[in-house]
Structure formats: structure tokens, C-alpha cells
Amino acid sequence: MLISCDVAIIGAGTAGLAAYEAATEAGADAIVLEAGPGGTTCAASGCMPSKLLIAAAEATESVRRLETFGLALEGRLRIDGPAVLARMRRERDRFVAGVMRSTSGIPNDKRLRGHARFLRETRLAVTGNEVTARAVVIATGSRAAVPKPFRALGDLLLTNESVFELPDLPRSLAVVGAGPLGLELAQAFGRLGTKVAVFDQGDAIAGLRDPVAARSAREIIGRELPLHLGTEVEARRVEGGAELSWSGASEGGEVFERVLVAAGRPPNLDGLALRNSGLALDERGTPLFDPETMRCGESAVFIAGDAGHDRPVLHEASDEGAIAGRNAALWPKAESRPRRVPFAVVYTDPEIAMVGPPLPSLAERKPVIGAVDFADSGRARIMGRSAGILRVYADPEDGRLLGGAIVGPEAEHLGHLLAFVVQRGLTADEALALPYYHPTLEESLRGALRKLCGQLRTLPEARAGSMEFGPGS
């Protein structure tokens, strides 16, 4: 059957659904093509189940930390693995059902089940049907990369697709990848009683590009979890599990019941037959696109969400879907929409927040950095959580805030405050003039801003005396 429409959207995840809504709102006749069961990665095997597991882990940790406050439980904490996982899945399934309910408004003839691939720029094949559109949105998401040494592990291997389906907590777990996803799940399983070790080829942690914040995160999290950074790992199936042997910055060997691979998420583009689309691709095979219009070159194809391999977090997938959907509907016109300040949170303990462009990419502007240690925060000490660091960057030319990195208690909330003032284009002085209650964690932000303002004021003198303002302040 040949189906004609204005906009064909490939993928009914967060980005694809946002694209559908925006395209129809702009008056287009849009169709969504979906290969899987729907429900979105975020709800089914991403943000939500991982945060549910972390919430259970936090509950165990708060019991363990009772001693800090002079409290004790009679008897011992019993962790019922199947019950923990069942609660996670029950709540996860509610989120998925919520997504399904919200998408049930899409008429049946505006959704097509099947794997889509390009025949031409605006012509697609979907399981026996062909769809021709004025414009196409690629919103196919991403999937876990499984590096070669782990492919032969069979059912011992877990990814985000399978880890949330485990019937019980494994006795031991090797986590491959010290990025946000690997670290969050490693800590959660560790706190729930699984013996965990983390492996990574590089020495970065949680995606932190600020070296001082990264060191702080490595030290604090490394006290709880063995972090084998800078290692190459070999894996093979043996009696009782998977034997991992590693070499590099550290060496060793150990048998783990399961191996969770969280070693990056390449975009789902390989099944799309992109060569037929005529799109220009980068060296990784991702279409080149304008991040303010989501348009791929001069074509009638738009891209959104993890498929674009640019900002792989949920709120960006949603924004990109909305931009792509609207512009696909308006094609050949394309409206530019300025993007929000980059912002990401990692739900480890301590939490991690990253705001603005990564520090290395700001190097040319020689940012001034104000930093405070959470050891000096009254509120953090009250809470018994006084570990971590907060660093804020400002432009030395005009004092405008550029971003920052936070490793510390409730960094998700402090990160939002920082993201708000950065996006508003406030200077360090202006942000310092805002109200801060006492005693709060927000006072740490004020402390970092005070230091920034102090440095910015002395900057002309410092420059005259050719003093150096490095990132270690």
C-alpha cells in the first residue's frame, strides 16, 4: 500500500511523540512509524526504572546512615531482592501505561507498526507498505553498544533492555562503563547488596569534563565502589558466571554472576538505509544537522532525540522533537529555535550536575572559576552529607555566568538554579544579589559566586601583574 502524508515520523519515543504533536499542531497530516512496542525508552528501560531502583538503594542507605545521628535499628536490614525489583517494575509499568494512554489519542490510521527504512529522501518502506511524505523526522533513539569482548557472554550479559527484568538481585555484578548510566546503576545495585565493580577504558567518570569535580566524584564514589578506570577488560563464560580479567591502570581477575554493559549508546541509524536518503553524514554515520532547526542540510529530513547523538537526555529529546516536528510541517520554511543551556544530572550519591558547555570547550575564554567545598557548608554538615564540590564558571570579560559542575548533596536542585541563572544571562554579581536563605545548600552557590565576584574584581590588577587565574580556586 502507498500512503501519502505531510510528515512521516520514524520512532514513537519521546522525540517522535513530541514531533507528532508539534507537526499536527502546525496543521500537518502526520504519521508515526514505530518498530517496537512503544512506551518510550525513558519510561520502559531508561530514566524511570533506573531512578526507581536508585530510590530503593537510597532507602537502604538512609538506614545505614542512622548511626551518624546517634540512631540504631534493633535487628538488621533485610533486602528482599524480588520485592525490590517487583516494586520497581510495578511503578515502571504505571509510567509506561501513562505514556500509552497519552498516545492512544493518535488515530489508528496515523500510526504504522514496523521497521522503517529510506527508499529516497522522502519515501520510506515499512513492512510491505510505502510511505511518501513532504518531510521526514528521524527519531529512532539509541541503543546500548556491546563491545566485542562481551558479545559471547550470552545471557550473562545485561544492558538497560534486560537489567530491569531481572527476577532477583545478582550476587555480583561487573559494570562496564563509568558514565552516568553505568555509575548510577552500579551504586544502586551495590547499595542493595550486590557485590559490584566498575570498569572503564578511560579515566573520566559520570561524563564530568571538569577535572576538579571529576577528581572529587572519583574520590567519593571510589570509597564505596571499586572503580577500575583506565583498564582493558577481557571476558569469558566460566562455571558460575563471567570471568573478567583486566589490565592497564590496575590488573586483576574475578568471576561475576552478571555483566552490565553501559559503554555508550550509539544512535539507531544502521537499519534505516540512510544511503538512500542522500543525507550528508559525519564520520560516525550520523546525519549532519542544524541544532536550532534540526534540519539535515538542505533536505526535507529532520532529526531529533538520541538519534542525533548530540544531547542524549530526555528534555532535549522532547525539545528537539518539537522543533523538528514543527519545521517538518512548515517545510520548506524552517524556524530557528535557540536551545536551552546544556544541563545534565547524574543520580549517584553524591549527585552530580553539569551546566553549560563542558569546561574544555570554554578554554579559549579563560573562564574565572569560583569553588566551594561542601565540607564548608553548614547545611551539608547538618545533613551528614558534607562531601563534594561546587564550581561555577564566569566569563572574565563581562562576569557573565557560563556554567559549572556540582558534585554534592541534592545537586539536581542546585544544578537547576545554576542552569536558570546561566540561561538568563546573569552575571556573577547579579546572581549574588538574589536571596539565599540560611541554612541551605543554596548558600554554597552563594559562596562560589562570592569567590567569583572577588576574583572578577581583582582581575584587571591580576592581569597587570600577570597573575594566573587557573581553575583550582
Ligand X SMILES: Cc1cc2nc3c(=O)[nH]c(=O)nc-3n(C[C@H](O)[C@H](O)[C@H](O)COP(=O)(O)OP(=O)(O)OC[C@H]3O[C@@H](n4cnc5c(N)ncnc54)[C@H](O)[C@@H]3O)c2cc1C
Residues in contact with ligand X by CB under 6 A are 10-16, 33-36, 40-42, 46-47, 50, 115-116, 139-141, 160, 181, 268, 271-272, 305-307, 312-315, 317
DSSP letters for 263-316 = S---BS-GGG-GGGTT--B-TTSPBP--TTT-B-TTSSEEE-GGGGSS--SHHH
Given the complex with ligand X, which of 181 and 421 has the nearer CB atom? 181
CB of 349 to ligand X, least distance (A): 14
Given the complex with ligand X, which of 10 and 22 has the nearer CB atom? 10
Given the complex with ligand X, which of 345 and 372 has the nearer CB atom? 345
Query: Are 307 and 139 a contacting pair, CB within 8 Å?
Result: yes
The C-alpha cell at 321 is 522533537
* Sheet (strand 227-229) strand order: 157-158, 258-261, 172-176, 195-200, 227-229
For residue 7, count other CB atoms closer than 10 A to its CB.
31
Given the complex with ligand X, which of 164 and 246 has the nearer CB atom? 164
Query: Are 50 and 184 a contacting pair, CB within 8 Å?
Result: yes
Given the complex with ligand X, which of 138 and 221 has the nearer CB atom? 138
What are 135's strand-pairing partners?
7
Given the complex with ligand X, which of 139 and 448 has the nearer CB atom? 139
The residues, any chain, with a CB within 8 Å of residue 212's CB and separated by 6 or more, are 371, 389, 391, 405, 471, 472
Own/partner pairs, 64-67, CB within 8 angstroms, 24+ separation: 65/384
CB of 9 to ligand X, least distance (A): 9
**Angstrom distance (rounded) from CA 418 to CA 343:** 9
Given the complex with ligand X, which of 40 and 348 has the nearer CB atom? 40
CB of 33 to ligand X, least distance (A): 5
CB of 126 to ligand X, least distance (A): 7
* Sheet (strand 368-373) strand order: 343-346, 351-355, 401-408, 389-394, 368-373
Cis peptide upstream of residue 471 (ω within 30 degrees of 0):
no
Specify the pairing of strand 401-408 against strand 351-355. antiparallel
CB of 346 to ligand X, least distance (A): 8
CB of 221 to ligand X, least distance (A): 17
CB of 251 to ligand X, least distance (A): 29
Q: State residue 74 phi and psi, 5-degree precision.
A: -75, 135
Given the complex with ligand X, which of 41 and 216 has the nearer CB atom? 41
Angle between helices 81-103 and 14-25 (to 10 degrees): 20
**Angstrom distance (rounded) from CA 12 to CA 122:** 18
Given the complex with ligand X, which of 321 and 404 has the nearer CB atom? 321
Given the complex with ligand X, which of 212 and 303 has the nearer CB atom? 303
Residue with the closest Cβ to ligand X? Answer: 13
**Angstrom distance (rounded) from CA 399 to CA 368:** 8
Given the complex with ligand X, which of 15 and 28 has the nearer CB atom? 15
The C-alpha cell at 357 is 558547555
Angle between helices 14-25 and 314-330 (to 10 degrees): 30
**Angstrom distance (rounded) from CA 351 to CA 184:** 10
The residues, any chain, with a CB within 8 Å of residue 187's CB and separated by 6 or more, are 54, 57, 196, 221, 224, 225, 348, 349
CB of 246 to ligand X, least distance (A): 23
CB of 133 to ligand X, least distance (A): 14
CB of 469 to ligand X, least distance (A): 33
Specify the pairing of strand 231-238 against strand 241-248. antiparallel
CB of 168 to ligand X, least distance (A): 19
